[in-house]
Amino acid sequence: MNSRTRTLEEHLEHLAHEALRQLPPCRAPASLEARVLREVAARAGEPRRAAGIHRWPLAARLALMVGCVLCIPLTWVLVMSLRMQLTYTLMATGAIHVLHGMRGVGSALLLLAELAVHLAQRIPGAWLFGGLLATGALYAALCALGYLVLRSAAPHSKVHSV
C-alpha cells in the first residue's frame, strides 16, 4: 500500500470518526440492566450444554459402560469366527497358494472379490438377519440414549423476553 492510499484511508477514517462523534448518544432502557442481570442469574444455575460424560445421569453412564463391556466379548467371538471362516475358505479354495505367488494387483482384486462372494454365500441367513437386526437395535438404543442424555443435561428453561 503506497503513502497516497494510506493518507486517503486516514482522511476517510477521520471523517467517519467526526460524523459518529456528532451523533447523540444512544441510551438503553432503564429496565434493561435489571432484565439482563436477572437472566444471567437464572442461567448460572443451569448445567452447561457441552457437559462431559461425568455429568451424565448415573443410569446413562451405567448403561453405556454395560454396553461397552458387552461389546468386547461379542467382538472377540465375531473376529475369531471370521478368522476361522477365512482360513477354511483359503484352504478349501487353494487360494492360499495363489496369495503367496501373486504378483499383480488385478489378480489380487479378483481373488478378494472371489473370497468375498464365497464368504457371503457361507454366512447363514439367520446370522445375516440377526446382525442387521442387532445393528438396528443398537442404533436405536444409542439414539434414545443420546436423546435422554441431552434431555436430562439441558432441560428446557423459560425464555425471558429481553
CA atoms within 13 A of residue 85's CA, in its CB half-sphere:
16
What angle is formed at CA 63 by the lines to CA 61 and CA 146, rounded to 5 degrees? 75
Per-residue CA distances from 4 to 1, 7, 12, 15, 141 (Å): 8, 5, 12, 17, 67
Cα 95–chain centre separation: 40
pLDDT at residue number 75: 85
Digitized pLDDT (tens) for each residue of the chain, 162 residues in all: 577 777 888 999 999 999 888 988 888 787 888 888 888 888 777 666 655 777 778 888 888 888 888 888 888 888 888 778 777 776 666 665 555 555 556 666 777 778 777 777 777 878 878 888 888 898 888 888 888 877 776 655 444 444
pLDDT at residue number 157: 47
H-helix or E-strand spanning residue 69:
helix 58-93
Domain boundaries, the chain: 3-153
